[in-house]
């Protein structure tokens, strides 16, 4: 059973839009469940100024991406590159079943890859980099 955080954010994602003035975007998919998500980020001085997403995703992906967004505004992008599944679990206050872990971190994975694109460091993370 989903907790109240998952239920609220899956029904009311506050950042389901394309922000103005983004300077990096990235699209990622979860081939396990065929969710796909595109993030739009405004980064200045290596800090996340704004972040949004558009998607075709399941409840858990939508909710976790929305909760994640609230936690990264004004963070240094290098901090975000160190976040993994455990960070998402702490944000939503509940563990996710093994079957849904990839869905829960799709927003994080897409964000990390958007940061790599922004940094032009030729790196691309996978689910294996995020999930223990």
Quick: pLDDT tens for 69-78. Answer: 989 999 999 9
Quick: pLDDT tens for 75-113. Answer: 999 999 999 999 999 998 878 878 789 989 999 999 999
Burial, 104: exposed, middle or buried (Cβ in 10 Å; 0-12, 13-18, 19+)?
A: buried
What is d(CA 96, CA 39) in angstroms, rounded to the nearest whole number? 22
What is d(CA 6, CA 116) in angstroms, rounded to the nearest whole number? 28
| pTM metric for this prediction | 0.90
Q: What is the CA radius of gyration of the chain?
A: 13
What confidence score (pLDDT) does residue 1 get?
42
For residues 68 and 75, the answer to whether their CB atoms sit within 8 Å is: no
* 4-130 topology per CATH: Sufe protein. Chain: A (3.90.1010)
For residues 46 and 76, the answer to whether their CB atoms sit within 8 Å is: yes
Q: What percent of the chain has pLDDT over 70?
A: 97
Percentages helix, strand, coil for the chain (3-state, rounded to 5) are: 45, 20, 35
Q: Is the dihedral of CA 30, 61, 15, 42 positive or negative?
A: negative
* pLDDT tops 90 at residue 62: no
CA angle 44, 106, 131 (to 5 degrees): 105
What confidence score (pLDDT) does residue 102 get?
92
């Amino acid at each position: 059973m989903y907790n109240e955080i998952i239920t609220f954010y899956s029904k009311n994602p506050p950042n389901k839009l394309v922000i103005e003035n983004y300077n990096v975007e990235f699209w990622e998919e979860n081939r396990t469940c065929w969710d796909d998500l595109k993030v739009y980020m405004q980064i200045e001085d290596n800090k996340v100024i704004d972040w949004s997403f558009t998607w075709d995703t399941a409840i858990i992906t939508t909710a976790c991406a929305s909760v994640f967004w609230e936690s990264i505004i004004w963070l240094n992008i290098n901090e975000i590159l160190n976040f993994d599944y455990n960070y998402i679990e702490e944000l939503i206050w509940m563990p996710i079943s093994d079957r849904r872990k990839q869905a829960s971190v799709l927003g994080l994975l897409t964000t990390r890859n958007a940061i790599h694109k922004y940094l032009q460091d030729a790196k691309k993370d996978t689910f294996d980099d995020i999930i223990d």
